Structures are given as structure tokens and as C-alpha cells.
Structure 1
Amino acid sequence: MEFDDVMLGRRSIRGYRPDPVPRALIEEILTIAMRAPSSMNTQPWNFYVVTGEPLDRIRQGNTERMVAGVPQSREFRTGEAFVDHHRDRQVGVAKQLFAAMGIARDDKDKRQDWVMRGFRQFDAPVCIIVTYDRILDGSDDTPFDCGAVTNALVNAAWSRGLGAVINSQGIMQSPVVREHAGIADDQVILKSIALGWPEDDFPANAVVSERKPVEEAAVFVGFD
């Protein structure tokens, strides 16, 4: 695929076929992704690629603890809740997804089931947990670099027919994730990526989230 086709065509995939993803293909995608820019070449990122029974245990523990009301324990800072236009964009994409899935505003059961899909890593056959070296904790460059490599990863996957969605719900219960993914103590859990072959008939997979225009995002200085 041409670069522009990948960037303009990629969508967040939230419905997957159960077919396994070959390890060799994931290794190929990671090899490409790790050519992403890295501040002073520190390359702070690491990846725990989980599938099969260990992933099922993460799904189960994550959802059971959330349903039981166990407070979330994300390891990277969460910040304050979105407000103003950032909140508007968050609500806007949620409305797009609910409309695609036929989930009515007052249908609490379906809305709750949708939330649970996130805690289950959207039932994808693979979960990639992005971590960074704890010795770099507090560095502003570190999450920037991890974001760059994650962006490269999901686009490399898309170029090979795989879908992905970057999410935080799947790592809300970090003790569960650490235990079943075997994450080393010298790593901080940052994000998770659901990965797999897109389910063509899953309505939410057709949703294309809106982007603000360049004239709203960019300030040009010194141009004629």
C-alpha cells in the first residue's frame, strides 16, 4: 500500500475474526514500527505480545475486577477528565460508534456491554502491551517516543491487512496484566493495542472518526 493510502484509510478496529495472527507477521510489523523516531535514540519502548490462554486470563481478571468495583490501577498518569472541545470530540466518536452498532442512548445493557468489550481487549486474538523502561519514568521524551512507535505499529499492521485499536481499558487492572503477561518489574505499562484480522461485518469497523481541519490545528509563521 502507498503511504497516503495507509494513513488516510486506516480505521480503529473493534471487531475481530478469531483467526490467529502468525508470530512472524507480528515480528515483521514490530521491526518496521521500531524505525519510528526516538529522542536521542533512547528507544525506551518494549512490547509484550500476548495471545491464547494468557490473554484470556487477562480479559477475565480485568473484567471481573472492574465489575466488582476494584479501582483502576493504570501505571501511567491518567490526567484530568476531558472538557470543552476535547470532551466534545470524545462524545462525538462515541455517538458515531453507538449509532453504527444500533445502541440507543437509554439502552444501559448494550452500553455496558460495549464498555466491557474494551476491558476484554475487544475480543481480539492478540494484545500488544506497550511498556517503557522504568529508569526513564518522568521523562517527557519517553511517552512521546512510545506514541511514535505505537503509531508506526498500527499503520504497519494496517498495510498488511491487520486491524488494531489503541486502548487503555485493557490495562486498567495492571496487577492482572503484569501477572499473566509476565511483565518485568523494570517496565512501566503504558498502553495496550488490540490486534487481529478485521471482522468485515462488524458495524463499528466502518466508522471513520472525524479530524479537525489543518487551518484549525496549524499556525503558519513567516509564510507569504
Structure 2
Amino acid sequence: MEFDEVILGRRSIRGYKPDPVPGDLIEEVLRLAMRAPSSYNSQPYYFHVITGEPLDRIRAGNVGRIRDGHPDAREFRTGQPFAGAHRERQVAVAKQLLGAMGISREDAQGRDEWVLRGFRQFDAPVCIIITYDRLLADSDDTAFDCGAVATALVNAAWSRGLGAVINSQGIMQSPVVREAARVPQDQVIMKSIALGWPDMSFAANTVVSERRTVAEATTFVGFED
């Protein structure tokens, strides 16, 4: 694909075909993603690529702990809940997704099942857990660098015909993930990315989230006539 096709065509995929993804293709995607810039070329990230029985254990553990009322156990800072315009954008994309799936506001069971899909890594055949060195945990550059490589990863995947979605629900119960993925204690679990072949018959995969205009997000200084 041309660069513009990747950037403008990519969307977050939440429904996948069950077909396996070859390991060498995932390695190719990671090789591309790792060209993302990082602070002083620190490259603080690690990738834990999971499929099969270990991934099934993560799905079951996530869902079981949520149903049992375990609190959020993510390891990275989440800050305050979104408010104002940020919350409005969050609600807007949720409405787009639920509307595409035909899940009404009154359908409590349907809404609960939709949330649980996130804890199940959207039933994708592959999950990539991004972690970083614990000794860098106090550096905002580290979170920035992990975000950069995650963005590069989902775009690289799309360029190869794969779909992905960056997902915090999948690592909300980090003890489950750490055990099943064998994440070392000197690494912090940052994000998960569901990965696989897109099932374009899955209605939510047609959703393209809205973006602010350049004018709304940008201030130009020194360009005046």
C-alpha cells in the first residue's frame, strides 16, 4: 500500500477470522514497527506475542476476575477519568460502535457482552503485549516511545492485510497476563494489541472513528503574511 492508503484506510478491528497468523509475518510487522523513533534511541519496549492456549488462559482469567469483582490491576498510570471534550469523543465512538452492532442503550446484556469482548482480546488469534523496562517507569518519554511503536505496529499490520486494535482492557488484570505471558518482573505491562485477519462481516469493523480537523487541533505561529 501507499503510505496515505495505510493511514487513511486503517481502522481499529474488533472482529477477527479464526485463521492463524504466520509467525514470520508478525516478525516482519514488528521489524517495521521498530523503526519508530524513541527518545535518544532508547527503544525501551518489549513485545510478548501470544497465541493458542496461553492466550486462552489470559481470556479466561481476565473475564473470570472481572466477573468476580476484582479491581483494575493495570500497571501504568491511567490518570483521572476523561471529562469535557475528551469524554464527549469517547462517548461518540462508543455510540458509533454500539450502533453498528445494533446494541441499544436498554440492552444491558448486549452491552456487557461487548465489554467482555475487550477482556477477551476481541477473540483475536494473536495478542501482542507491550512492556517496558521498570527502571524507566518514572520517565514520560518511555510512555511516549511505547505509544509511537504501538502506532507504527498497527499501521504496519494494516499494510500487510492484518487488522489490530490497541486495547487496555486486555491487560486490565495484569497478574493474569504476567503469568500466562511469562513477563519478567523487571518489565511493566503497558498495553495489549489484538491482531489477526479482519472479519469484515463483523459490523463494528466498518466504523471509522471521527477526527478533529487540523484547524481545531493546530496553532500555526510565524506563518502570517
For normalisation by structure 2, the TM-score amounts to 0.99
2:19 pairs with 1:19: yes
2:204 equivalent in structure 1: 204
1:143 equivalent in structure 2: 143
Q: String of CA shifts for 1:168-220, please: whole Å, max 9, x gaps.
A: 00001111000000001110000000000000200000000000000000000
Q: Letter of the aligned partner of 1:107 in structure 2?
A: D
Q: String of CA shifts for 1:70-117, please: whole Å, max 9, x gaps.
A: 111000011110000000000000000011000011000000000000
Query: For 2:13 and 2:137, how far apart are their aligned partners in 1?
Result: 30
- Structure 2 unaligned spans of 5+: none
1:64 equivalent in structure 2: 64
Question: Alpha-carbon deviation of 1:135?
Answer: 1.0
Q: Letter of the aligned partner of 1:128 in structure 2?
A: I
Q: Letter of the aligned partner of 1:111 in structure 2?
A: R
1:90 equivalent in structure 2: 90
Secondary structure of the 1:180 match is: helix
Q: Letter of the aligned partner of 1:22 in structure 2?
A: P
Q: Letter of the aligned partner of 1:151 in structure 2?
A: T
Question: Alpha-carbon deviation of 1:158?
Answer: 0.1
2:116 equivalent in structure 1: 116
Query: For 2:15 and 2:217, how far apart are their aligned partners in 1?
Result: 31
Query: For 1:92 and 1:5, how far apart are their aligned partners in 2?
Result: 25
Kindly report the root-mean-square deviation, in angstroms, between the aligned alpha carbons of the 2 structures.
Answer: 0.4
Query: For 1:126 and 1:79, how far apart are their aligned partners in 2?
Result: 28
Query: For 1:96 and 1:140, how far apart are their aligned partners in 2?
Result: 32
Q: Letter of the aligned partner of 1:90 in structure 2?
A: Q
Query: For 2:50 and 2:135, how far apart are their aligned partners in 1?
Result: 24
Percent of residue pairs bearing the same amino acid type: 71
Query: For 1:109 and 1:148, how far apart are their aligned partners in 2?
Result: 36
1:217 equivalent in structure 2: 217
2:161 equivalent in structure 1: 161
1:184 equivalent in structure 2: 184
Runs (4 or more) in structure 1 with deviation over 3 Å come to none
Question: Alpha-carbon deviation of 1:14?
Answer: 0.1
Equivalent residues, number:
224
